[in-house]
């Protein structure tokens, strides 16, 4: 059985993430969406539990997608699934530089771990969780940015952050 791991902080999951997850689910037998900690980012807007709940709501109708969390190194986590491949989305050259470095670090820790990249769909190349957080804080319409199942969750959290 072919297994893909789609790792990320998903703070929150965006339509761009969902596009990559759907496309990965068409290529691999099983996809594990792994919600992780990114030490280069500031305090997350959503707790891990909230992010898990949101990702679950969004992927529940894709039968071969599971949601998991991990707080250690991604390359160590991937050892749980024999032959698993990391799948990540690439939006721009700037993503490539970061991902290229991550791939080298992951390979140092787990030499048999492969990473594959899917190019982001053109309509989502501008999109990131940080853009969503910023738009939400200013009360913007989020329907072009996050899956409809979680718009309320993001708006509610943004309201709390405004007060």
Shortest CA distance to 54 belongs to which of 28, 24, 76, 33? 33
Nearer to ligand PNS, 20 or 25 (CB): 20
The interface with ligand PNS within residues 83-122 (CB under 6 A) comprises 102, 105
- Which of these is catalytic: 51, 129, 133, 157? 129
Give least dist CB 57 to ligand PNS, A: 18
- Residue whose C-beta lies closest to ligand PNS: 8
Q: Catalytic annotation on 163?
A: no
- Which of these is catalytic: 30, 57, 91, 107? 91
State the greatest distance between any 2 C-alpha atoms of the chain, in Å, as a whole number.
Answer: 48
Find the helix packing angle between 151-162 and 48-59, rounded to 10°: 150
Nearer to ligand PNS, 112 or 159 (CB): 112
Q: Catalytic annotation on 47?
A: no
Nearer to ligand PNS, 41 or 162 (CB): 41
Q: Catalytic annotation on 80?
A: no
Whole-angstrom distance, CA of residue 89 vs CA of residue 46:
22
- Residue 147 interacting with ligand PNS (CB under 6 A): no
DSSP codes, 87-129: EEEE-SHHHHHHHHHHHHHHHHHSTT-EEEEEEPPGGGTT--H
In degrees, rounded to 5, the angle at the alpha carbon of residue 87 between the alpha carbons of residues 85 and 93 is 135
The dihedral formed by the CA atoms of 34, 141, 92 and 90, expressed in degrees to the nearest 10: 20
- Residue 74 interacting with ligand PNS (CB under 6 A): yes
Give the one residue of 21, 32, 33, 36 binding ligand PNS; rule: CB under 6 A. Answer: 36
* Spatial contact of 5 and 34, defined as CB atoms under 8 Å apart: yes
The residues that touch ligand PNS, with contacts defined as CB under 6 A, are: 7-9, 36, 38, 41, 73-75, 102, 105
Active site amino acids: 17, 41, 91, 129
């Amino acid at each position: 059985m072919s297994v893909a791991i789609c790792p990320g902080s998903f703070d929150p999951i965006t339509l761009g993430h969902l596009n990559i997850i759907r496309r990965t689910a068409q290529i691999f037998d099983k996809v594990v969406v792994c919600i992780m900690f990114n030490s280069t980012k500031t305090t997350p807007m959503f707790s891990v539990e909230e992010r898990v709940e949101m990702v679950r709501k969004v992927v529940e109708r894709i039968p071969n997608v599971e949601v998991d969390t991990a707080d250690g190194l991604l390359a160590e986590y991937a050892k749980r699934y024999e032959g698993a491949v990391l799948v990540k989305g690439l939006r721009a050259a700037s993503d490539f530089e970061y991902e290229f470095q991550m791939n080298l670090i992951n390979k140092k820790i787990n030499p048999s771990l492969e990473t594959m990249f899917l190019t982001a769909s053109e309509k989502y190349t501008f999109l990131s969780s940080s853009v969503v957080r910023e738009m939400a804080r200013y009360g913007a319409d989020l329907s072009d940015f996050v899956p409809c199942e979680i718009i309320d969750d993001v708006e509610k959290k943004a309201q709390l952050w405004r007060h």
